[in-house]
Chain A
Amino acid sequence: MNGPKLLNHLESTGFETLTALDPGMFYRVASERLRAGGRAVSYFGLPEEGGTRLILILGFDSERRLEALSVSVTDSFHSLTPEFPQLHLFEREISEQNCLEAKGHPWLKPVRYPLKSGSPVSPGTADFFKVHGSETHEVAVGPVHAGVIEPGHFRFQCHGELVFHLEIALGYQNRGIERRLIGGPDKLTIHYMETLAGDTTIGHATAYCRAVETLSDTEIPPRADILRGIMLELERLANHTGDLGALAGDVAYLPTASFCGRLRGDFLNMTALICGNRFGRNMIVPGGTAFDIDPALAKELKLRLDAAFKDVKNAAGLLWSTSSVMERFEGTGLVSKETALALGLVGPAARASGVRLDTRHNFPVGAYKLKAVLPADAPESGDVYARAYMRWLEIKRSYELINEFLYSLPGGPVSIEPGAMRPERFVVSLNEGWRGEICHVAVTNAEGGFRHYKVKDPSFNNWQGLAMALRGGQISDFPLCNKSFNLSYCGHDL
């Protein structure tokens, strides 16, 4: 075989059909396909006898197509980052996880600083970009921040208040989940999935369950599909509403900050009404869902949803009609469409820069097959305003979707017992979490357990977007830009 392997989203594929290309051929075909508009959905190293198998999954979103390319390497591989910046973090990760040298990578440093016996390297201790000259200075922030927030280290290169460059060093949250998933699934697996990023419990757990269901040829009941859709949109509502409040707080506009803080909790409480937990823990299980929504509960949900949405509409509306807010939002933290495409940004951040990309639309499954979700019509200006307004548009869409889902709940059971996973197969499972595209790739071993499990949280794509948004801005813009992306540290660090 000389070209890429065509894949279908959520199709169990024999691992042997993914033939390793000749290295020269791999880099040539990969470059060709990336140049033709391919987006790196996942790129990782799979340990194999005598070396490492690199697997690159490319997405062609408008054509709703996935392609896979693979190559066997021993102790180094050729970096494609100089031409395709979207691969930069993937290649650093491959290098770190598989002890391979990425030859030609312009900035090869650790990603998560995982514990290695003998030589523990602390995060934040590697080289940083430096700017030299009179009156230039460096500002270091973190890992312990001023707010109640996860740890990360930020290094600003500045001239006065002007930021030339921001470099973000993470890894503090690395708790070894991916390594521990291999050999599973076991009784801890679903809990790991639910806590890859605690605020994206439904997003990640659903991606995982679909992967397991695909590999075990399990068809879940239609009611479970719709229930999962309701949960995913509730998660989006809660987080987007919270983000609008946090953005308002960062420009000292307290009415919306206060209102949205409360409203986020209302959406979390709706989630708890369905499954008992505010973050959606214990809801999504392989084979369907653990809880059902009966008519009485549906009625109660609808009441609460309508009331909360009305208040969110009011709270968000205040933002767009307050000139002091708009003055801070507009033109701050610009990310151009070219940058967003080059870096492979995903989710609301990408859509706010004009990249029309939404897994619910491009690779629809379950509830979204019934109801196509078109990317919302946003300002596309790539600034804080666009990212904030995109949140509001998505809140509206999620509200409509939940209403439609509640209305169209089919009868029948909510789960079935999943079978055993088939050996030597692999699957790509995508899901549009509230931050953007979640990608899980599972490969099974000869016994039908996980030979490898690769997780990609949307934050992995988008942290570099935040760094670029700060260029040419001011240090004081950082909190605002940060909230406009609101990325996950734990989802990145795993």
Chain B
Amino acid sequence: MFKALIGRLKQGHRTMEFPSAGIKLPPRFLGMPGISHAACKGGCAKCAGVCPTGAITLLAEKPVLDLGRCVFCGKCAELCPAVFKFTGEYRLAARERKELFRCDEAVKRTRTLDSEMKRIFGRSLKLRQVSAGGCGACEADCNVLQTLTYDLGRFGIQFAASPRHADGLLITGPVTQNMKLALLKTYDATPAPKIVIAAGACAISGGIYSGHPETAGIPEEIPVDLYLPGCPPHPLTILDGILRLLGRIE
């Protein structure tokens, strides 16, 4: 008992302030990519060629980067550092799939739920996490949010053990054929109104498994309210996205 108390004193207070201007990510961290169309001569399509997941397409000969497919490997920036610049910006979440396509423009922040949904979920949100394929890294970074470093609970957000007790689902993985039925049943078991969050490149677009016959993607019956890009998304990306969705950060 005394050892535990002494241990508690030694370990100190470790919960980070959030949101905070003081958050510093490692210098080599790859966050929101900036694309400069002015620096691009256009038409060579080499960036689309090096991208492993087909995240880069050309629009009027200039690159468009789909954050929903990007695995943040930085290959495009290696090839063409003048055009692609990954910043340390971790705030990547979007409400609609089309908002994840990055051209040469300023970043928009995630919009809040409509007022009725915000009234219901804004102060207390219970999520059922469904892992459906993938590599387990997104799940690991969701788990991290429950540690005292991020302390998700202080925002009134918790992961629930049963879909019956949940206000929504947080889906990770490309949704394998083998998990599709379980995901649909879990969605049906969650009482309405409910929200759905797709976390990670796999859940959003299939990621590196896109096009595998073994994967199905999130079924159309399940409408997604929030997209969290990354492979995996940084815990701060997840936290920021959910808090913005709930209108807790403006």
A residues whose Cβ falls under 8 Å from a Cβ of B:
113-115, 120, 122-123, 143-144, 146-151, 171-177, 180, 187-188, 191-192, 194-199, 201, 255, 258-259, 261-262, 264-265, 268-269, 272-279, 281-282, 291, 311, 314-315, 317-318, 321-322, 488-490
Inter-chain contacts of A321 with B (CB < 8 A):
3
Which residues on B sit within 8 Å (CB–CB) of A274?
A: 28
- Shortest A28–chain B CB gap in Å is 38
Shortest beta-carbon distance, A231 to chain B, in Å? Answer: 13
Of B114-122, B177-185, B218-226, B241-249, the segment with at least 4 beta carbons within 8 Å of chain A is: B177-185
Given B7, B75, B182, B231, which contacts A314 in the complex, CB threshold below 8 Å?
Answer: B7
> Is there an interface contact between B148 and A258, defined as CB atoms closer than 8 Å?
yes
Is there contact, CB below 8 Å, between B73 and A282? yes
In the complex, are the beta carbons of B214 and A174 less than 8 A apart?
A: yes
Residues of B within 8 A of A279 (CB): 137, 140, 232
Smallest CB gap from B29: residue in A: A276
Interface hits, B48-82 → A, CB 8 Å:
50-53, 71-75
In the bound complex, residues from chain A placing their C-beta under 8 Å from that of B179 are 143, 151, 172-173
- Closest Cβ of chain B: how far from A258's Cβ, in Å? 5
Q: Say yes or no: B176 contacts A174, CB within 8 Å.
A: yes
Least distance between A319 CB and chain B CB atoms (Å): 11
A483 to B11 alpha-carbon distance, docked (Å): 24
Tell me which residues across on chain A come within 8 A of B98, comparing CB atoms.
none
Q: Top 8 A-B pairs ranked by shortest CB distance?
A: A198-B137, A198-B135, A276-B28, A261-B147, A195-B135, A146-B161, A176-B214, A198-B136
Which of A144, A150, A199, A322 interacts with B4 by CB under 8 Å? Answer: A322
Interface residues of B (CB under 8 A from A): 3-4, 7-8, 10-11, 14, 25-30, 50-53, 71-75, 128-144, 146-149, 159, 161-163, 173-174, 176-179, 181-182, 186, 208-209, 212-215, 231-232, 234
> Which residue of the partner chain, among A199, A255, A259, contacts B137 with CB atoms under 8 Å?
A199
Q: How many Å lie between the Cα of A147 and that of B127 in the bound state?
A: 11
A272 engages B149 (CB within 8 Å): no
Per the bound structure, the CA–CA distance linking A174 and B148 in Å amounts to 33
Are the C-beta atoms of B139 and A197 separated by less than 8 Å?
A: no
B174:A265 contact, CB within 8 angstroms: no
Provide the residues of chain B in CB contact with A172, threshold 8 Å: 132-133, 176, 178-179, 182
Our count of residue pairs bridging A and B at CB distance below 8 angstroms stands at: 176
| Nearest-CB residue, chain A, relative to B185 | A144
Closest Cβ of chain A to B234, distance in Å, is 7
A255 near B4 with CB under 8 A, answer yes
A85 to chain B, nearest CB (A): 26
Measured CA separation A261–B3 after assembly (Å): 19
Residue of B nearest to A239 (CB): B140
> Are A173 and B149 closer than 8 Å at their CB atoms?
no
Whether B133 contacts A187 by the Cβ 8 Å rule is no
Residue of B73, B161, B186, B214 near A191 (CB, 8 A) is B73
Given contacts A176-B209, A315-B11, 5 further A-B contacts (CB under 8 A): A115-B178, A148-B131, A282-B73, A314-B7, A490-B135
Separation of A448 and B138 alpha carbons in the complex (Å): 35
Q: A144-B130, A314-B10 are in contact. Are A115 and B149 (CB under 8 A)?
A: no
Contacts of A144 in B (CB 8 A): 128, 130, 163, 182, 186
Q: How far is the CA of A265 from the CA of B71 in the complex (A)?
A: 21
